[in-house]
Chains A and B, each alone.
Chain A
């Protein structure tokens, strides 16, 4: 066996801050497996994250990484990929980071279709700040002192938003199914364009009831490139269907190119 592409080599020796039982452990394991399976060398990967429990993930990989600021993983990752198209770029974070403070970037990253993979670990709670309602929390979830009567506003529907914003790859996985999660991440990395992997990742500390996710998820979707069909699936979705929802082969973003010119030629435009 070729040990160079052993998943273990894709993990750093840093001990995660995550609680025992956190779904995010499966995500780092799946990313390591996916990169090993795809035979992508560590130094050719840039793994970008924002702020939150799950955003700590970048440092738990042995690739190049950037643990940036809250909500801005996607533009930072876009900057890496556009500047260095040769790199494999992953972005990751939580539901608050991606859909609340980073919501605008999420929309435009979907539209822009830069060739990178965005893995959102959704646990419907802000864990790092000790359990406040997130943009995917239920309107009547009363577990936070900040909103003791519940956030009272309906949760955002990330996959509907992604489709509406023209994402070219959309899937959903559950951390309890490592094989399917790994499969989706591999598929997303291989997809040429912006890929969203929405991961149901239970928070056992602030949302202990999410331990029950394992009984609710159902592998449902096979890829379609028909937007109407994808939307229809989401309208019928109970929030626990998993699989690859939508794949659009539209070409990824590339910046404008021009015929090469020397600095002297560029400067000549100013001469009178």
Chain B
């Protein structure tokens, strides 16, 4: 019986090219009519470090790596122990190893996989200039049942910009790799046949072609669709690709990107750009967000719309820059001093970065507020084959006054809490934006009345906004609810499928709007639920603490939390949903 999905990992020392091989494999999957997800696991080295491309390919869109890895192709064993935990091998897995790279390390043997030896490097050497990553690609592609011509197309698309010679050598090496698959298949026939049911090429009528993109690129496109035309950038892992993508795209639509000297500068440049009337954003990760919070408070007080996309990584401090965690939730929610209502959103998967990016800009502009959009390394730096998502038809709009408005008050106390924001250049409405508390006119004020009024209006505009149905993605029914956010959404959905298959009805609630928490909507979503599993990837259960402090649960609440960098697996959620708290303390 053909499989519906499989997981496969390619590992090797940095420079071995396993990321390129993984990327081409994912591309070939898309060209074969399949979907897929590829997560990059990298060491901290600039060059020469270990790396792993971990893929899951299937007949339906993939947003979780699943519980096990069927096949590991190890080009070499450099530093394998550093990320062996991230590749879930067991006795049903097959490891393809090069006998010339020495003994299979104990950390792999301990998991009892079947092991097939293929002289990967020696095979590559049979082709002049041939590289071992193309042997690994050929093996993997053959086991997956991909057509050679389709993989060749993907190679052309990936390497064509180098030179035709590189492509030709790669194709020759690919064929040598594909040829080696026969022997592997005969050694472990039950594992090594990875071919998925649907391998008809995707319909190519020019309109319904699938997309292959990273979460960070998807965020960039979503933000661009939202109307952002100015970005100030300071590089930081794992957010840099959002900025790099925008650096290429913004000038094409008349926008601008500037590289700043630090995050203090980038966020203030963003405030300046938005004050000047241009929807503006930046992207960063934990340490950068820490530097930005004072200015985010300024944007709250001065009512400046802007978006900061924070791609979470392991913290605190420098932490684990290349690996995923959801531990910046607290700083996103509570990092600002004073009473500083703002908005925090979270994309639920790579495809959703398109929607949430666009929506975050809409929210920022509509409410004249900073929006922190959370994604994480597991989403941002992963690539997926997705169905294209059209831009939301909702317009991005900022409320502005008419020119020469008599007695214009920038911070007028309105019912909605939103006040018309004049843009430099507009006649008769000049004002000074201020981080000092101010009167409706914008004049600095220490008076109790002004402070109360302005605090009230800034809170009111966030609370009173109509967020519609986008506040969460909800699917399923049942007395058990899986409540989560971010890249764990896909994992929770897969766990839900497993539970449903066992006859346990379950609903999945993935919050897209973390702050303000839509308590009434959440209450409705949890109606009839007996047990809520709160799923998050951090040590101190930040999400659980936030929910409990803001929402009265009627159901039993169980935590499923673990820090990074090893992703939470669907099976852990299944176990937690059907037994007790998985953690060490309640």
Contacts and interface: CB of A to CB of B under 8 A. Distances in A.
Contact of B426 (A43, A59, A67, A259): A43
Interface in A130-167: none
B462 to A, nearest CB: 21
Interface string A216-250: 00000000000000000000000000000000000
A72 B444 contact: no
A182 interface: no
Nearest to B443: A14
A267 B278 contact: no
B435 A68 contact: yes
Contact of B278 (A83, A107, A256, A263): A83
Interface string A67-85: 1110110111111111110
Contacts, number: 192
A257 B430 CA distance: 30
B212 A272 contact: yes
Interface in B387-442: 388, 391, 422, 424-436, 442
A87 interface: yes
Interface residues of A, number: 54
B472 to A, nearest CB: 26
Interface string A1-45: 000000000001010000000000000000000000000011111
Nearest to A14: B443
Given A14-B443, A65-B430, A266-B249, 9 more contacts: A46-B276, A68-B295, A72-B268, A75-B266, A81-B272, A83-B229, A83-B273, A84-B424, A260-B253
A255 B425 contact: no
B261 A79 contact: no
Contacts of A107: 261
Q: Which 8 A-B pairs have the closest CB atoms?
A: A79-B272, A79-B269, A65-B432, A83-B273, A258-B251, A255-B256, A75-B265, A75-B268
B268 A79 contact: yes
Contacts of B429: 43
Given A72-B268, A82-B273, A267 B388 contact: yes
Interface stretch (B74-82, B137-145, B217-225, B528-536): B217-225
B353 interface: no
Contacts of A83: 229-230, 256, 272-274, 276-278, 280
B433 A259 contact: no
- Interface residues of B, dominant DSSP: mixed
Interface string B240-278: 000000011101111011101110111011111111111
A75 B210 contact: no
A266 B431 contact: no
B211 interface: yes
A105 interface: yes
A77 B211 contact: no
A260 B302 contact: no
Contacts of B230: 79, 82-83
B31 interface: yes
B349 interface: no
Interface centre among A58, A67, A79, A108 (most CB of B within 10 A): A79
A41 B269 CA distance: 24
A106 to B, nearest CB: 10
Given A67-B435, A69-B298, A75-B272, A86 B257 contact: no
Contact of A59 (B262, B280, B422, B444): B444
A80 B276 contact: yes
Given A79-B272, A255-B258, A42 B212 contact: no
A257 B248 CA distance: 9
A272 B432 contact: no
A108 B261 CA distance: 7
B256 A82 contact: yes
Contacts of A265: 252
- Residue of A75, A78, A81, A265 with highest tally of chain B CB at under 10 A: A75
